[in-house]
Amino acid sequence: VPLIEAGLLNSHEIIQLLKKYINPMLDARVDYIVLGCSHYPYLIPQLEKLIPPNITIIDSGAAVAQQTKTLLEEHNLVNTGNSTPVLQFFTNAESDTLQLLLRDHTDRIVIEETKF
């Protein structure tokens, strides 16, 4: 996680770390790899280079998002407006690092540094 938060997604160190964890799974002939951390989807491109195409990567974030939507609907908290949302992120890390990770969405986000 610290390497991901530092934006070192393509570093030699992170590739070696991925291999360390992925190789035993490959040796066990797994069919699926479930990503169990909100940081791990950033590593999907690297994982896809390390695993054969017959192994499915499951991003648990989609299930979390669906459950969040369900809860918002149950409590009548869904925003049905048509305006473009502003996404606010709070971080206790350097905001530049978060900005790097969210670079594809920078037109819609506000990042505030805070100490937790």
For the record, the structure tokens of 4 come out as: 């991901």
Relative to beta strand 32-35, strand 56-59 is parallel
Q: What would the 3-class secondary structure string for 44-77 be?
A: HHHHHHHCCCCCEEEECHHHHHHHHHHHHHHCCC
What is the model's pLDDT at position 45? 93
AA letter at 77: L
φ, ψ of residue 13 in degrees (nearest 5): -60, -45
Instruction: Give the predicted TM-score (pTM) of the model.
Output: 0.63
Across 39-43, 51-55, 75-79, 107-111, least confident range: 107-111
Q: What's the pLDDT band for 116 if we cut at 50, 70, 90?
A: low
Position 113 scores a pLDDT of 63
Encoded tokens for 61: 């974030």
Residues 21-34: tens digit of each pLDDT: 999 999 999 999 99
Which tokens belong to 84?
């473009």
Does the CA dihedral 100-5-93-84 come out positive or negative? positive
Where residue 108 falls among pLDDT bands split at 50, 70, 90? low
- In Å, what is the CA distance from 80 to each residue of 72, 74, 83, 85, 87? 11, 14, 9, 11, 16
- Mean pLDDT score of the chain: 84
pLDDT value at position 69?
92
Residue ranges per structural domain of the chain = 1-78, 79-116
